[in-house]
Amino acid sequence: ATAERAVVPVNRLDMQWPVENGSSNVIQTYDGAGSKGIDIRGEQGQPIKAAAAGEVLYAGEEVRGYGKLILISHNTATITAYAHNDTLLVQKDQKVQPGQVIATMGSSDSDSVKLHFEVRLNGKAVDPLPYLTRTN
């Protein structure tokens, strides 16, 4: 029974939507294959916010297909990814608070203005929607 219980995520994070009115603007949902996260439509320059407190692991544009990307580590198991940004407002090793503006929305390495948002648990992409429980 102990082994079974270990699988239950004890470090589950309640995250807030990284974009104002994000829940009503989801244009692509997670499917685990082609889409490893969700895409949220928005306006060029719109603020992108940290979904939870953490530390910036990566801020740059060297990851192909993600454009200007930010990765935030929230605990030993959980990372969030924010892709296709216009401007990056944080840097590696910076601590961030929930709701802190970390970037502006754009279309870097994308055909439209949107935020691609991913939640990764132990390196594996999971559906972000069950984690986005707090409104901003």
Whole-number Å distance between alpha carbons of 34 and 74: 25
The string of pLDDT tens digits covering residues 71-116 is: 999 999 999 999 999 999 999 999 999 999 999 999 999 999 999 9
pLDDT more than 70, % of the chain: 89
Read off the pLDDT band of 119 (50, 70, 90).
very high
Q: Residue by residue, what is the 3-state secondary structure of 10-79?
A: CCCCCEECCCCCHHHCEEECCCCCCCCCEEEECCCCCEEECCCCEEEEEEECCCCCCCEEEEEECCCCEE
Q: What is the pTM of this model?
A: 0.89
| Average pLDDT value for residue range 22-34 | 92
